[in-house]
Amino acid sequence: VVMDVGTGSGILAVWAALAGAKKVYAIEYTDMAKHARQVVEANGVSDIVTVIQGAVEDIKLPIAEDGLEAEEDGSTLVVDIMVSEWMGYFLLRESMLDSVIRARDKYLKKKTGLMFPSHCTMYVAPVFDEDDRMQSVHEYSHTMDDWSEFVESTRSLYGVDMGVLGKDFDREQKEYYLLSSRWAELGASQVLAEPKAVKYYDMTTCTLEESRGIAHGEEMATFDFDVDADSTDDECISGIAGWFTSDFKSRTDEGGADAPKINAAFLSTAPEAGYTHWGQQVMHFQSKIPLLQGETTRLQGSVELMRTKENARLYNCRLRFFNSRRKTGEAKDGNILMQGPAVEHVYQIP
């Protein structure tokens, strides 16, 4: 028995039926459920796939009607495999991980059930992306020039001073142009150091609390990058990029010892993996960090990812970092040539 959470067009549910599933439940909250039913019918699997419209937290499976066998008497643990394409930009943005976890806890067999994807990992790395960074800076500057001209013309033509709104306008433009992450299709050569994993999810055991993001102070959420100017042709660090990988493999938790073993598959949205619609999210620095020949730049800091107050499916990313330089070959904690100030920015992930 398979459950597809957030089935959308129904394609994963159809694939599950074609792969031999005895029964598939395709859950969809939106009116896309109507189109999913059409796709199921057109592909001749309507005897296997049942499309149910509603929130997965609220729906009820026809357990008795379909003669499903629960793992425990009287329980709703009837699903052998749960699939869902819930991943968003930088894994969590606009994701429905909460719903997947609730569906898992309600319907997936605890001892033998499988989750696909089974494990997900979030990564960050320093990158060179100067063209896009400078474009954002120029667009911000151009917008503020337009504002100054507007304020002056309104004052001279109509005798009204709009300058009082300048600070609020400037803040809004900075948030949009300078403090919003940008979707990018980076090349592998633009990544300036070995990526650092900042969050790991075992989809069989992760909790609702863990699904909320990356909390301040989490051990994995720190980074410490060395960028050797002599090993790259790039002239500076433009910002930090984030992406994710998803594994489709056997269970690794202690409670899953009796679960079926499978041939593993792997999805990566990293720059070296080529194009995916997820791409990477780049958080550009407001000022680039130059790379100087004969020197190594060290970038230390942490990542925090938290839901916005306005929309639980959207996220802000807080970067805290500082940089220092030392002669290439000098020990990591050896003689420091320069240390920059601590920087903290909050980026919207639009």
Return the DSSP state at 272: G
Residue 157 burial class via C-beta count within 10 angstroms: exposed 0-12, middle 13-18, buried 19 and up: exposed
Residues 6+ apart with CB under 8 A from 246: 87, 117, 119, 120, 266, 267
Nearest 5 degrees, angle CA 54-CA 6-CA 243?
145
Catalytic residue among 85, 130, 210, 218: 85
Residues 6+ apart with CB under 8 A from 180: 347, 348, 349, 350
User: What region, left, alpha or beta, does residue 162 occupy, with left being phi > 0 and alpha being psi -120 to 50 degrees?
Assistant: alpha
- Cβ atoms 61, 43 nearer than 8 A: no
Place of tokens 């309104």: 154
Nearest 5 degrees, angle CA 321-CA 323-CA 327?
155
d(CA 281, CA 185): 9
Q: How many residues does the chain have?
A: 350
Catalytic residue among 57, 69, 72, 94: 94
3-state secondary structure of 291: coil
3-state secondary structure of 206: coil
d(CA 17, CA 221): 39
Rg (CA), the chain: 25
**Upstream peptide bond of 341 is cis (omega within 30 degrees of 0):** no
Active site annotation includes 85: yes
Nearest 5 degrees, angle CA 185-CA 191-CA 194?
130
d(CA 130, CA 133): 5
Active site annotation includes 94: yes
| Residues with catalytic roles | 85, 94
